[in-house]
Every structure is written in structure tokens, then in C-alpha cells.
Amino acid sequence: MNTVRTGFLMAALTGIFLVVGFLLGGGPGMLIAFIFAAGTNLFAYWNSDKMLLSMYGARPVDETSAPELVHLVRQLSGQAGIPMPKVYIVDNPQPNAFATGRDPEHAAVCVTSGLLGDVNAEELAGVLAHELGHVKHRDTLTMTITATMAGAISMLANFAFFLGGGRRNNPLGFAGMLLVMLLAPIAAVLVQMAISRSREFEADKAGAEISGRPLWLASALQHIDNAAQRIDNEEAEQNPATAHMFIVNPLHSGGLSGLFSSHPSTEERVARLRAMAGAAAARPGPWA
């Protein structure tokens, strides 16, 4: 169901782009903005893993430096049916984790030192399974496409602003064009965040299936969410555009944070995982 919802949201984002592009810049303006935005995001797609890991000061680990962590990732990767990703640790007191890489063959899983210090082995397995779910579903590709479309819409609005409102013969008039320039980027961001939230639900489901224990992930999410509200993640606060990469929102924000959040509420995620556990209670999992 979430996959279908993601498809509809991506179609909506494409529709916003086409309509706004035509009204604001006509065919040529729409094409120029899209090419620029696509080029920028294409570069990010091929290099985002290196950029993100470097941004957070992640260090690679192996069987010698972090044997238990690497062994667990290897075991879960085999259960998920994907290649073993590279494993990294970030020295950060906030318990959290993220996955990156353009596809399962070029993936990396990264956990914070705070996560390793605060969760038990079962919760850690749940978190890692969730991140491997992102890798398996190629969510990096999905979010790159949506970022491209949202970036193109914002760029079109900026073009219209600097060029004096786009085409003079547009059917909306000047006031209407101002509304489009203001509201279109906001609408694009809202759709992008909705897609990100859908992918989190899918990764939760995949993580529960990979580990065979939905309650491990449910417990970890509650633990991480409580800690994240108390412990700062300075790098994430300085780079809020990366917040959607983490398993739990690393930012401290209020106001309209729920509307613009890239993550669904932890309460809803936990409720869904508990429902999965109840449905599968009679079936032994791979970790039995």
C-alpha cells in the first residue's frame, strides 16, 4: 500500500512540476530549470554517499575494529538477500543510524557511537535491519528522483521571481503568479516529505521481516526517539537537509515540524510494528 502511495505522490510531484513550469516559464524555461536541477541531483546521486559520510566524519570499520557490529550486518544482509554493505561508525552521542549508497551493490550502513552505547543487541539488530530495508528497496534512488523534481519546481519559481513573473500572457494574472511562486515550492516540499514518510513505513516493515522480530525495532524506535529529544546532533542541525536519512528525526524543532517532518510519528510506527508482531506471533522467525 505504501508503494502505491509513493507512486501516486511521485505522480503528483511530476504534475506540479509540469503545470508550474508551463505557467511560469513556458516550454524553454521549464526545460532549462529541469536540466539544471537534474544535473545537480545526478551529481549528488553518484557522490551523495561519500559526501554524507564525510560530512558526519564517519569512519569505516571491519571485523577487527568492530567485530560484533560487522558480524551482525553480515548476518542480516544474508537474511535480506543483498550484498554486504560497508559499515561505518560516527562519533556522535545521539543514538541514530542511516544508510546511503545508490544501490545495494554500492551501499553503506552507518551507526552513531551513541546508538552502540544505548541499545541492546536485539534493538541494534532491529535498527540495522531497517537500514538494510532501505538499501533493499533502493530508497536512495526514489528520494533522488523526488529531490530532483522538488528542486526543479523551486528553481522555476525562482526564475519567475527574477524574470518578473514569468510569461506576461499567463492565465493567472500577476497576483495569481505570485501565489504560484510562493505556494508551488511549499507544495513540492510537502509531497517530498510525504514520500519520505512512506519509505520509512516500508523500511520498518522490511526491517521487521528481515530480523523476524518486529518488536526489536519497535523497542529501538522508542528508545532512539526519547534520546533524540534530549541529545543534540550538531552535524544534523547544521545540515537539516540530511535529516531524512536517519532512522529517527535527529533535529529539535517545533511549530509546523509535524507537517514538514520527513519521518512519520514514532507512535504510529511502533503501533504498526506491534500489529505485525501480533499477526506473526505463532510463526517462528529466523532469529528464534
Q: How many CB atoms lie within 10 A of CB 124?
A: 22
What do you get for the CA distance between the two ends of the chain, in Å?
29
Asked if residues 125 and 76 have their Cβ atoms less than 8 Å apart, the reply is yes
Residue 71's identity, in one-letter code, is H
d(CA 79, CA 42): 31
Closest C-alpha among 49, 204, 212, 217 to residue 133 = 204
Residue 158's identity, in one-letter code, is N
Asked if residues 137 and 246 have their Cβ atoms less than 8 Å apart, the reply is no
Q: Which residues of 47-85 are buried (b: 16+ CB within 10 A; e: fewer)?
A: ebbeebbeebebeebeeeebeebbebbebbbebbebeeb
In angstroms, what is the C-alpha Rg of the chain?
20
Angstrom distances, CA of residue 211 to CA of 59, 203, 264: 25, 12, 21
- Which one of the listed residues 123, 131, 200, 209 is annotated catalytic? 131
**200 in catalytic set:** no
Report the DSSP pairing between strands 86-90 and 108-112. parallel
Angle CA(169)–CA(175)–CA(176) in degrees, nearest 5? 70
Q: Active-site residue numbers?
A: 131
